[in-house]
Amino acid sequence: MDIDEDTIDLRSDTVTTPSDEMREAARDAEVGDDVYRDDPTVNELERRAAEAVGTEAALYVPSGTMANQIAVHVHTEPGQELLLERESHVYRWELAGASNLSGLQTRTIDAGERCVPSPDAVAEGLVSEDLHRPGTGLLSLENTHNFRGGTAIPVDGIAAAAEAARDADVPVHLDGARVFNAAVALGVDASELVAPVDSVTFCLSKGLGAPVGSILAGDEEFVEEARRVRKLFGGGMRQAGIIAAPGLLALENVDRLAEDHANAERLAAGLDAVDGVDAPAPDTNIVVAHTEDAGIPAADLVEACKAAGVGCVEFDEHTTRFTTHLDVDADDVAVAVDRIGDAVAELSG
């Protein structure tokens, strides 16, 4: 999708551009060779990232997908099963990485309206190792839940699912790409959401606004093994302080995520008022608009919005996703609602 300067880009919070301060920090960053662990900027980012989510250690990686797949690889053995929610990012959007990179087979469970599997669903999905079956190697959870509209899952939901897995000696990974969005929406510290699990991923390059990079965090033993797997997957970086320095500033952007949530609420309310559009109030910064009642396929709406100067993405046959972020303010939201409304009217006419 070609984006011009007049387009209000709501495709994702990954489209944010680095601030002047981030660009200056990248330019002036003190660097070393991170594979040798002597890049001081990366080391500081990893220290502060671990502190932010309450873990012993953290690892800086190029992307959230790599972070998730490293975690999957570390926690499991080839041939085991990965248990995860059927609409989760790890299952739906990561190119079957669990099978391609770690030799796993996946077993999916439905989280229903909870957006996190119940303890009973987890227990039912777990497989014990025996002569005929490989056993479950890992349970993967997600918070916020991307495909289900950025739902912020409370601590007790994550904890209950994780406890069910641990009762069977199965470790738990949390895809927390937007875990700080969840924390802000729920009014809790991110460490509370992370405490029940064995490892967590979070992205610096989404709502926090860094140009690149994600974090994988857990205890020291896990992170040491993850560092080896990062190298195996081609993620060993050299003078990475140049891209890590903006990440340090991104960690300071947690509190401002509330602004994105407020703008998402405005966007959802405006879209929901458009005839033929159902846009539920969001928990965080992701708005999903359903246009089945209007008979408008999401692919058609995306193209119409593009022509009208609004970026968005197709999520399902009649579901379109709009994501607010730090490059979008309340005035942009108001303009976007008008443009989207016109697009819907044109398609309905």
Looking at residue 114, its pLDDT comes to 81
Tens digit of each residue's pLDDT (9 = 90 or more) over 169-210: 999 999 999 999 999 999 999 999 999 999 999 999 999 999
229 with 73: CB under 8 angstroms?
yes
Q: How far apart are CA 285 and CA 181, in angstroms?
A: 8
Q: What is the mean pLDDT of the chain?
A: 96
CA count, 13 A, side-chain hemisphere, 294: 28
- Classify residue 164 by its DSSP letter: H
Looking at residue 3, its pLDDT comes to 59
**Mean pLDDT, to the nearest integer, of 261-288?**
98
**From the centroid of its chain, how far is CA 122?**
22
227 with 57: CB under 8 angstroms?
no
Closest CA to 148 of 284, 47, 1, 308: 284
pLDDT tier at 272, thresholds 50, 70, 90:
very high
Q: How far apart are CA 251 and CA 229, in angstroms?
A: 25
Q: How far apart are CA 194 and CA 71, in angstroms?
A: 14
Tens digit of each residue's pLDDT (9 = 90 or more) over 6-45: 899 999 999 999 999 999 999 999 999 999 999 999 999 9
Looking at residue 4, its pLDDT comes to 66
Strands 8-9 and 136-142: unpaired
Whole-prediction pTM: 0.96
Percent of the chain at pLDDT exceeding 70: 99
Asked whether the predicted pLDDT for residue 268 surpasses 60, the reply is yes
- Classify residue 168 by its DSSP letter: T
Strands 199-203 and 172-175: parallel
**Helical H segments across the chain, by residue range:** 20-28, 40-53, 64-75, 89-92, 97-102, 119-125, 155-166, 179-186, 190-194, 220-232, 241-250, 257-272, 298-308, 330-348
Closest CA to 34 of 61, 11, 56: 61
Looking at residue 112, its pLDDT comes to 81
**Distance in Å from the first CA to the final CA of the chain:** 25
Q: How far apart are CA 70 and CA 66, in angstroms?
A: 6
Q: How far apart are CA 266 and CA 252, in angstroms?
A: 25
**Mean pLDDT, to the nearest integer, of 312-332?**
97
Looking at residue 2, its pLDDT comes to 57
Looking at residue 5, its pLDDT comes to 67
Tens digit of each residue's pLDDT (9 = 90 or more) over 299-309: 999 999 999 99
Percent of the chain at pLDDT exceeding 90: 97
Q: How far apart are CA 304 and CA 340, in angstroms?
A: 8
